[in-house]
Structure 1
Amino acid sequence: MDHFIILIRSISAFLLLLVIARILGKQTLSNMNFHDFVTAVIMGAIAANLAFNEKMEVMHLIISLVVFTGTSYLLSKLNLKSRRMRLLAEGSPTVLIEGGKILEQNLEKNKLTLDSLNQTLRQKDVFDINEVEYALLEVNGQVSVMKKKKFRTVTLDDIHLINNKKERLPIELIMDGKLLEENINLNNAPRDHLFKVLTTQHKQISDVFYAVLGSDGRLYIDYYNDQLKHPVDIE
């Protein structure tokens, strides 16, 4: 009987949290800020007690969930109406790099080390900190990066070039040493060109880890044996 009661309470807790998540909206999941984080932690604790703590009355726990849900929902609505309230509840972005200079005090205030900053920049495809003009720590914990002008990607507008050619998705030709016949046939991929490239490099299909025909029509091939004489890092 005790096991059955825990089962029912656990299912009820799950369904309640699911309903609450739907009420609070998708923004809570994709862009969690301070008040969303606090709400999630508290609701998780209440839901856990609802599922397993038989000493606490179910109605008391449900009332707590309703109160915190209502508070979070009301605060979200207030944030939409008032920027001052939004700043109090969510905070504001913090500048980590300005004009190419690292702001050490801001790193320290946000408990960020130089290693963690470099890791975040690498996740933004920035491997040289000298390329960064500005870097901001957003309220959701993500880092936004603006590169220096000379390191930014050139757009068609920059070179005043209009390309009306229809773009297409990349077509995978080989994966894990296996030729993807279905992809080639469905997309009329240039099979002869692929084999010609492999023959020129004295390779076979089994030597290829990954081959893809890019959206620009270029063929990219990665072999199992990369022949790197001095790899940067080996696990």
Structure 2
Amino acid sequence: MMGVWEIVLRSLLAFALMMVIARIMGKPTIAQMTYHDFVASITLGAISANLAFNDKLAVWKILTAVIVFSGIAYLLMVLSLKNRILRKWLSGEPTVLIQDGKILERNMKKLKVSLDMLNQELRAKAIFNIEEVKYAILELNGHLSVMRTSDSMAVTIKDLNLKSDTKLSFPIELIMDGTVISNNLKQNGISEKWLDAELHKKNLSLEKVNYAVINSEGKVIFDEYEDHIRHAIDRE
């Protein structure tokens, strides 16, 4: 039987190996789980589990299996990027579930999607009436993309022919978990002296701030550890 330290070392090795493989596969694979990605992740997870706990198999044999299977998964991923037919076979393709407010039952049945699941996805997008949907498409990663009908779309500034002087930019996080994010300050030419001045304007100290960010409109927002809410809603 394996000793405790051997289990610990094998587990650390399995975890490190999976982290390396995840890095090689890239963020899109993690964020968008297709059929191919799902099969690869399940199989690699099972092999890694054997690496951690199965003392009947030699470590080098399990490592060989991981490397070979990872190579196959990576090769298929690269080939699918270059070949549309192979990509469709490995990953599938987007499927229309609603068209012009009408549910396409044949497609729903083919993908084994229930009406409850469809309604849940629509409600998550604040859509409670199917008539408001022009198209609803189930994407490769399992997410539902929805195009509303023209009369149910939200009105924008452009629609009202109004001019907006507000320039939006990417938010800049300044403080997280009470710690100043020095890299963000340097990359954006922000000094700690300026940050201290902003804290002083709000009569705050760094110890009291949980999170601080310059939002997309250029405003500095501070979130304190003390919320100052008399009746906080706490539901499980």
Same structural fold, with TM-score higher than 0.5 when normalized by the shorter chain: yes
* Residue 157 in structure 1 maps to residue 158 in structure 2: yes
1:200-215 superposed matches below 5 A: none
Q: Any conservation in 1 of the 2:35–2:91 contact (CA below 8 Å)?
A: yes
What's the counterpart of residue 61 of structure 1?
A: 62
Instruction: Spell out, residue by residue over 1:112-141, the C-alpha distance to the aligned partner (whole angstroms, 9 max, x if none).
Output: 111111000011121222211110111111
Deviation at 1:183? Answer: 8.7
Q: Residues 224 and 103 of structure 1: is their aligned pair in 2 closer, same or farther, counting only changes over 3 Å?
A: farther
- Calculate the TM-score normalised by the size of structure 1: 0.70
Q: Residues 224 and 132 of structure 1: is their aligned pair in 2 closer, same or farther, counting only changes over 3 Å?
A: farther
What's the counterpart of residue 75 of structure 1?
A: 76
1:4-153 superposed matches below 5 A: 4-153=5-154
- Unpaired runs of 5+ residues, structure 1, are 170-181, 188-214, 216-221, 226-234
Q: Residues 167 and 85 of structure 1: is their aligned pair in 2 closer, same or farther, counting only changes over 3 Å?
A: closer
Q: RMSD over aligned Cα, in angstroms?
A: 2.9
- Unpaired runs of 5+ residues, structure 2, are 172-197, 204-216, 218-228
1:164-203 superposed matches below 5 A: 164-165=165-166, 186=202
Q: Residues 45 and 167 of structure 1: is their aligned pair in 2 closer, same or farther, counting only changes over 3 Å?
A: closer
Q: Any conservation in 1 of the 2:100–2:131 contact (CA below 8 Å)?
A: no
Deviation at 1:153? Answer: 1.6
Instruction: Tell me, in whole angstroms, the C-alpha distance in 1 between the residues paired with 2:168 and 2:46.
Output: 49
Instruction: Tell me, in whole angstroms, the C-alpha distance in 1 between the residues paired with 2:160 and 2:84.
Output: 39
Instruction: Spell out, residue by residue over 1:96-124, the C-alpha distance to the aligned partner (whole angstroms, 9 max, x if none).
Output: 00111001121111111111110000111
Q: Residues 49 and 115 of structure 1: is their aligned pair in 2 closer, same or farther, counting only changes over 3 Å?
A: same
Q: Give the match's secondary structure for 2:97.
A: strand
- Calculate the TM-score normalised by the size of structure 2: 0.70
Instruction: Tell me, in whole angstroms, the C-alpha distance in 2 between the residues paired with 1:80 and 1:39.
Output: 17
Instruction: Spell out, residue by residue over 1:148-181, the C-alpha distance to the aligned partner (whole angstroms, 9 max, x if none).
Output: 0001122233233221145699xxxxxxxxxxxx
Amino acid at match of 1:10: S
Amino acid at match of 2:82: K
Q: Residues 223 and 186 of structure 1: is their aligned pair in 2 closer, same or farther, counting only changes over 3 Å?
A: closer
Q: Give identity over the alignment, percent.
A: 47
Q: Give the match's secondary structure for 1:109.
A: helix
Instruction: Tell me, in whole angstroms, the C-alpha distance in 2 between the residues paired with 1:164 and 1:32.
Output: 40
Deviation at 1:4? Answer: 1.4
Q: Residues 83 and 57 of structure 1: is their aligned pair in 2 closer, same or farther, counting only changes over 3 Å?
A: same
Q: Give the match's secondary structure for 2:202.
A: helix
**Alignment size in residue pairs:** 184
Deviation at 1:25? Answer: 0.6
Instruction: Spell out, residue by residue over 1:35-76, the C-alpha distance to the aligned partner (whole angstroms, 9 max, x if none).
Output: 110000000000000000001111111111101111111111
Q: Residues 184 and 137 of structure 1: is their aligned pair in 2 closer, same or farther, counting only changes over 3 Å?
A: farther
Instruction: Tell me, in whole angstroms, the C-alpha distance in 1 between the residues paired with 2:62 and 2:168.
Output: 55
